[in-house]
Amino acid sequence: MSEAKEARILRRPQIEAALAGLDLVALMERAFTGYSEGRARVSAVGELLFERPPGEAHIKAASVAGEPLFVVKVATGFYENPRRGLPSSSGVVILFDAATGEPDTILLDHGLLTDARTAAAGATAAKWLARQDATVIAVLGAGVQARLQLAALRDVVAAREVRVWSRRPEAAEQLAAYAAELGFVARVSRSPGEAARAAQIVVTATPAASPLLTAADIQAGAHITAVGADAPHKAELAADLIRRADRLATDSRAQARQRGELRRAPADSAMVELGEVIAGLEPGRRAAGDITLCDLTGLATQDLEIARAVAGAIACSAGCAG
> Dihedral of CA 38/43/77/250: which sign?
positive
Residues of the chain with pLDDT > 70: what percent?
Answer: 97
Given this model, what pLDDT does residue 2 score? 67
Given this model, what pLDDT does residue 207 score? 83
Please indicate, yes or no, whether residues 132 and 87 belong to a single structural domain of this protein. no
Please indicate, yes or no, whether residues 273 and 169 belong to a single structural domain of this protein. yes
Above 60 in pLDDT, residue 321?
Answer: no
Local confidence band at 238 (pLDDT 50, 70, 90 cut-offs): very high
Given this model, what pLDDT does residue 190 score? 96
Please indicate, yes or no, whether residues 154 and 289 belong to a single structural domain of this protein. yes
Tally of structural domains, the chain: 2
CA Rg, the chain, in Å?
A: 19
**99 in any annotated domain:** yes
Please indicate, yes or no, whether residues 122 and 221 belong to a single structural domain of this protein. yes
Please indicate, yes or no, whether residues 143 and 94 belong to a single structural domain of this protein. no
Q: Which range marks the domain in which residue 40 is found?
A: 8-113+301-320
**3 in any annotated domain:** no
What is the average pLDDT across 225-249?
88
Please indicate, yes or no, whether residues 39 and 122 belong to a single structural domain of this protein. no
What SS3 state is found at 270? Answer: coil
Given this model, what pLDDT does residue 322 score? 44
Given this model, what pLDDT does residue 174 score? 97
pLDDT tens digits, 98-156: 999 999 999 999 999 999 999 999 999 999 999 999 999 999 999 899 999 999 999 99
How many CB atoms neighbour CB 159 within 10 A? 21
Closest to 91 (Cα-Cα) out of 58, 120, 121, 119: 58
Higher pLDDT, 164 or 206: 164
Give the CATH number of the domain where residue 262 resides: 3.40.50.720
Regarding pTM above 0.85, the answer is yes
Given this model, what pLDDT does residue 319 score? 66
In the chain, alpha helices (H): 12-19, 24-36, 112-129, 144-153, 169-181, 192-197, 239-244, 253-259, 274-278, 300-320
Q: Are 79 and 57 in contact (CB under 8 A)?
A: no
CB neighbour list of residue 28: distance below 8 Å, 6 or more residues apart: 117, 120, 121, 123, 124, 302, 305
Above 90 in pLDDT, residue 209?
Answer: no
Please indicate, yes or no, whether residues 310 and 231 belong to a single structural domain of this protein. no
How many CB atoms neighbour CB 142 within 10 A? 25
Please indicate, yes or no, whether residues 309 and 279 belong to a single structural domain of this protein. no
- Residues 227 and 119: their CA atoms lie apart, in Å, by 9
Local confidence band at 268 (pLDDT 50, 70, 90 cut-offs): confident
- Residues 309 and 315: their CA atoms lie apart, in Å, by 10
In 37-160, alpha helices (H): 112-129, 144-153
**173 in any annotated domain:** yes
CA distances (Å), origin 219, targets 96, 154, 216, 289: 46, 22, 8, 9
> Dihedral of CA 118/125/134/245: which sign?
negative
Please indicate, yes or no, whether residues 208 and 273 belong to a single structural domain of this protein. yes
**1 in any annotated domain:** no
Q: Are 62 and 43 in contact (CB under 8 A)?
A: yes
CB neighbour list of residue 97: distance below 8 Å, 6 or more residues apart: 5, 68, 69, 103, 104
pLDDT tens digits, 300-318: 999 999 999 999 999 887 7
pLDDT tens digits, 147-185: 999 999 999 999 999 999 999 999 999 999 999 999 999
